[in-house]
Amino acid sequence: MATKAYLNVVLVGSILLAVLMNASDARPAAFNAPSNHYNWLSSSGRLQGLECSLCKDFVALVRKALDSGESSYVPEIAKLVCIIKYKEAAQVCDGVVTLWRPIFKFAIDKVYLSPENVCGQYLGSGCSNSTIPELNYYWNVTLPSVPKPPVTPIQPPTPGARRLRVAHISDVHVDMLYKVGASADCGLPTCCRFDAIYFTGDLPDHHVWEQTREQQVDIYRNFTALLRKYFPNVAFVAALGNHESVPVNSFPPRYIKGNESMDWYYPALWEFLSPWVPSDQKENVLKWILQNITDPDDQLQWLIGVLQRAESNGEKVHILGHIPSSELIKGYSWNYFKIAERYESTITGHFFGHTHHDELGVYFDPANTTRAFGTAYIVGSLKTDGNPSYRVYEVDGGYANASWQPCTGDCKRQFICRMRNMRSGDDSIPC
């Protein structure tokens, strides 16, 4: 049984962290140059001394508990933060912490992170004096020595040229515990004829406190089975979201073996995706997003190689991801931006989800901040607690020398079904 004094310390620490996390959270309006990429952090006040000190004090408290062998107190701190900050029910917080506890313990035993390291990652490098190379917030991937080709203005599609239709779906968050009559139905259009479907992640629902590995596998199995049934001759390209794993956000690297590995998921994922993915790409499917801070498994370096081959062959590339590039760990965002700028003539679209909002992101040239060089298409969610939506793009493609640019204006369509509090079977729902 914890002493009253120690419980008071735990409570105070939790409140301090909750105050810290409630600090102003301004977001960037554009994807700017790497050197300016996180200026919004300092301008929002989150790098002020108070927040930095609170963060370091809290992490030191947790670190002391771990070092003294009193790790049983850490889950209690996490539960209190969950309740105070996120205002979740105790049942939810208990479930989330229970799922995350073994992953957290495994990770914390493998690497020592000081208060400066942790708070520097959360609040920015101004709150850290980190000397650990892996935590260098602006680590660099290596671009090839091949000169960047001259940037040429994008030309309008050839009049009468073929256009491909691409459906972009994200953040479905299927509730496998749904009961008929408990939520409204939505009659989305079913008459579309697509050439491709882009899915940018997050099939499972948000009940992260009670998910199981079996549920996550079943959801993807059912989803891909429906795609094969209703879109048998349509290309399907997918990215994993942070909710695909159990516990949420946990994607251990390939060198982790045993029960802590992703062996329960990735082989099944390959089985579900293999009808659409060439067999020689199996290794890339099994090498998905990882937890390393510095270019996990050389993922970005691999991307550079693919983009360089595409550039050399005169090909165009669409990149799919779940979390928009402006919202990633700083080092990853920095390098992704650098790659996007280098290969702007090859990459004709960045497609993301995650935010649950219908958005566009704009990449700006660091040498000329008035020149935009790329667009991120961020699609809304199909989840029924907002405005369920997906996008249909008409892409200039499928013929020689096509630009492969998603069309704008009258050839870009979005279908949004506005939901009301209606029961199943009510055919008067306006869509």
- 317 and 380 housed in the same domain: yes
In a domain? residue 426 = no
Q: Is omega for the bond preceding 247 within 30 degrees of 0, making it cis?
A: yes
Q: How many domains does the chain contain in total?
A: 2
Q: Which whole-number Å values give the CA distances from 19 to 12, 16, 81, 130, 381, in the listed order?
A: 11, 5, 10, 24, 29
Q: Which whole-number Å values give the CA distances from 342 to 114, 144, 276, in the listed order?
A: 35, 10, 29
In a domain? residue 150 = no
Cα separation, 141 vs 299, whole angstroms: 10
Among 126, 176, 182, 168, CA closest to 422: 182
In a domain? residue 144 = no
- 256 and 399 housed in the same domain: yes
Among 237, 395, 379, CA closest to 319: 237
Where do runs of H (alpha helix) occur along 252-320? 266-273, 282-285, 299-312
In a domain? residue 73 = yes
In a domain? residue 147 = no
- CA atoms lying within 13 Å on the CB side of residue 22: 12
- 65 and 178 housed in the same domain: no
pLDDT-flagged residues of the chain (< 50): 1-29, 33-47, 181-192, 289-292, 409-431
- 306 and 368 housed in the same domain: yes
> Between 73-86 and 90-110, two packed helices, what is the crossing angle to 10 degrees?
130
Cα separation, 174 vs 186, whole angstroms: 14
In a domain? residue 172 = yes
- Give pLDDT tens digits for 252-270: 777 778 888 888 888 898 8
pLDDT score, position 314: 94
In a domain? residue 43 = yes
Determine contact, residues 399/161, Cβ cutoff 8 Å.
Answer: yes
- 244 and 99 housed in the same domain: no
Structure tokens at 102: 């073994």
- 130 and 168 housed in the same domain: no
- 125 and 190 housed in the same domain: no
- 130 and 183 housed in the same domain: no
CATH number assigned to the domain comprising residue 313? 3.60.21.10
- 130 and 269 housed in the same domain: no
pLDDT score, position 349: 94
Instruction: Report the 10 Å Cβ neighbour count for 329.
Output: 12
Q: Which amino acid is at 294?
A: T
- Give pLDDT tens digits for 13-65: 444 444 444 443 433 345 554 443 333 333 344 435 667 887 888 788 777 77
pTM: 0.66
Q: Is 176 exposed, middle or buried (0-12, 13-18, 19+ CB in 10 A)?
A: middle
Torsion, Cα 32 368 42 62, to 10 degrees, reads 40
- 197 and 112 housed in the same domain: no
Cα separation, 316 vs 296, whole angstroms: 25
In a domain? residue 234 = yes
Contact residues for 206 (Cβ-Cβ < 8 A; gap 6+): 173, 243
- 129 and 183 housed in the same domain: no
Which residue range is the domain that position 277 belongs to? 163-416
pLDDT score, position 49: 66
Beta-bridge partner residues of 412 = 393
- 91 and 185 housed in the same domain: no
Cα separation, 303 vs 347, whole angstroms: 11
pLDDT score, position 222: 93
pLDDT score, position 148: 94
